[in-house]
Amino acid sequence: MSVNYDFTDKVVIITGSSSGIGAGIAQLFAKSGANVVVTGRNADRVAKVAKQCTDMSPKQLTALEVVGDLTKQQDCDRLIQTTVQTFGKLDILVNNAGFGNRADVTEEDYYQKFQNLMQTNLNSVVYLTHKSVEHLAKTNGNIINISSIAAKITSSGQSPYHISKAALDMFTKCMAAELGPKHHIRVNSVNPGFIVTNIFADMGIPKAVADNFFRTVGCKYPVGRPGQPQDIAQTVAYLASNSEAGFITGSIVVADGGHLTANVSIDQELEDLINKMENF
């Protein structure tokens, strides 16, 4: 049975929403009646997703487009300010923007890679949360951070990514404990497993290779398939709903198709994919 959420009159920022999981989240909120803020670095992609959200909106509400780089504080400030100036408030902040990279600790540029990744995956979340509190406190709003099962496992050559997500989970818990009593703001995290997105296409990997990777991983999952952006969007919508999840805060909600429970290992598949990436 499909669950229909009602976010009428709610204002939602979804970072990194110009593609993938973020786009799926934005589209579901739009379908559910929210005023959606689509943001990312690529103006064409932002415009495309914003139009999709507007078309999906029951009242044809125009999605707000904000192009920016969240590693820059002035762009984060502009995102919050533009949202509040346009809609008069902020109800939900979904911190979705993030990326991964391969970084062996022995590489000469390891620390630079580490800093770059942390700037997006963690620092931007901390800053946006800091700047959003005054607005979310007025609406009894809530924050959902998109983390990863990488927060709970390890893999060779991916330490910056794993560290960033583990830190994000702890930040989620700290903010839930701090912002609940003082400001009535709930804060939760969603930790996806492997989700079918265009991430590998953006790296120049042919679609056939990426599709085979996701298919192979999905066959190992207890649910028998890899995740789709809609799977994570549904989880986010549930947590964002005060009527459905008003008693949930500080939770790290795993949505991974059973990856962790079944102790799924995909080390070989990742290594094969990395080797193929290096050849393209």
Active-site amino acid positions:
161
Cβ proximity of 63 and 14 under 8 Å: no
Query: What residue type is assigned to position 71 of the chain?
Result: T
Query: From CA 126, how far away is CA 128, in angstroms rounded?
Result: 6
Q: By C-alpha distance, which of 280, 238, 247, 256 is closest to 92?
A: 238
Q: Residue 255: in which H helix or E strand, if any? A: strand 252-255
Query: From CA 146, how far away is CA 193, in angstroms rounded?
Result: 11
Q: What sections of 196-266 are H helices per DSSP?
A: 199-202, 207-220, 229-240, 242-245
Residue 41: phi, psi to the nearest 5?
-85, -25
Cβ proximity of 276 and 102 under 8 Å: no
Both tokens of residue 235? 């989880």
Q: Give every strand in the sheet of 186-192, ordered side by side.
A: 64-67, 35-40, 11-14, 92-95, 142-146, 186-192, 252-255
Instruction: Give me the DSSP letters along 103-114.
Output: B-TTSTTHHHHH
Task: Output DSSP code: residue 225.
Answer: S
Q: ∠170-122-269 over CA atoms, to 5°?
A: 90
Query: From CA 175, how far away is CA 178, in angstroms rounded?
Result: 5
- Please list, in sequence order, all residues whose beta carbon lies within 8 angstroms of the beta carbon of residue 140, skipping any fewer than 6 positions away: 184, 185, 242
